[in-house]
Amino acid sequence: MSLAAAEGGFASLGLSSTTLRSLARMGYEEAAPVQRQAIPLGLTWTDLIIQSKSGSGKTCTFGVIICELTTPEMGQVQSIVIAPSREIANQIRDEMQQICHYSHQVVSTVGELTSKQEEQQPARIPDILIGTSKQVYLLFRERRVPVCPDAALLVFDEADIMLDNPRDRKWLTYISRGLHYLCADVKLVLSSATMPPHVLPYAEDLLEYLEPKSGREFSRATLCRSDTTNPAENALLTHITHAVCVLPRAANGDIPWGLEMLLGMQRYHQCIVFCTSVVLVKTVAAYLRAYAPSSCKVMESSEEH
């Protein structure tokens, strides 16, 4: 893909030539709606909510913001991305490395960094650190990496899931409190497909921990709800179908039944099922192998990195 093609969609957003080259290398031609809304706001160094449905380009959105605001090879962590699982952290790492290909920021997961430290191997201090909430908290508690004392960017991917989980919320609170003392200026970016009303106050609380001053509010780059009529987004996501089957919180045993209902509602060529735990992955995979049509091949991935 030519640089000119990538610039046609992204150059108007004020990105550096190195980031534009990386986006061209990745095959991006045109900025998605959420990227056009959120990237200019993020580059102004502000707290931000990036809300749009799955597949609309949220990871690339906050990845570009991070790449633009992070100085290469400072020897200090300047940007921290927290994900709900190690697998998602690895996926974010892979995309971030692509976005930072020409700007040369050091991108690492907590797992990679701690493994090298424990094996006493040389480990470069990452400019951009990615991990789960507990991983990041333990790393900072043990002071195993230096954080930039001047400014840092803190990103929560799948923020609605983590803020709605009491355990994740506890680690996120500890991290936010710690960063308040380690860094003079921390900005918070939330990336999520949804942002339920009961979750947003938790995020506001974290802002108070990061900078206990009145009047600090999120800018909100909200692209859509699940029933959006935005034609640009619908063109982008034309082959992605969203359907919902609401089950009681305690009805884990009904999850395969609910999944069967969802799969029966739509015609599809391929389907990816994401689960919240390794145990649930095994349960759902076993169910699909037993009850799915013979033409259906189930590929189970529950590896924890």
- pLDDT (tens digit, 9 = 90+) per residue, 85-134? 888 999 999 999 999 999 888 888 888 887 777 767 667 889 999 999 99
pLDDT at position 8: 41
pLDDT at position 218: 64
Are both 257 and 171 inside the same structural domain?
no
216/227: higher pLDDT: 216
Report the distance separating Cα 27 and Cα 9, nearest Å: 12
Which among 225, 256, 283 is the end of a domain? 225
Are both 152 and 252 inside the same structural domain?
no
Residue 199 main-chain phi, psi, to 5 deg:
-90, -35
* Helices 33-42, 58-69: inter-axial angle, 10-degree rounding: 30
pLDDT at position 21: 93
pLDDT at position 249: 58
- Residue 11 located in a structural domain: no
Report the distance separating Cα 131 and Cα 147, nearest Å: 15
- Residue 217 located in a structural domain: yes
Are both 195 and 87 inside the same structural domain?
yes
Are both 79 and 168 inside the same structural domain?
yes
Report the distance separating Cα 48 and Cα 161, nearest Å: 17
- Residue 204 located in a structural domain: yes
Q: Which of 56, 79, 65, 73 is nearest to 19 (CA)?
A: 65
Domain of residue 276 covers 243-291
Q: Taking a C-beta distance cutoff of 8 angstroms, is the pair 243, 227 a contact?
A: no
Are both 46 and 102 inside the same structural domain?
yes
* Confidence label for 254 from pLDDT (cuts 50, 70 and 90): low
- Residue 47 located in a structural domain: yes
CA atoms within 13 A on the CB side of 183: 26
- Residue 151 located in a structural domain: yes
Q: Which of 91, 106, 100, 92 is nearest to 22 (CA)?
A: 100
165/283: higher pLDDT: 165
> Are β-strands 186-192 and 48-51 bridged in parallel, bridged antiparallel, or unpaired?
parallel
Are both 168 and 257 inside the same structural domain?
no
* Confidence label for 250 from pLDDT (cuts 50, 70 and 90): low
Q: Strand locations in 69-136, DSSP E?
A: 79-83, 107-109, 128-132
Does 305 score more than 60 pLDDT?
Answer: no
CATH classification at residue 194: 3.40.50.300
Average pLDDT, the chain: 79
Report the distance separating Cα 57 and Cα 237, nearest Å: 10
- Residue 193 located in a structural domain: yes
286/4: higher pLDDT: 286
Are both 256 and 132 inside the same structural domain?
no
Are both 198 and 262 inside the same structural domain?
no
Tens-place pLDDT, residues 3-26: 544 444 788 898 999 999 999 999
Question: Considering its fold, how many domains does the chain have in total?
Answer: 2
Residue 201: strand, helix, or coil: helix
Are both 148 and 250 inside the same structural domain?
no
Average pLDDT rounded to a whole number, residues 205-230: 58
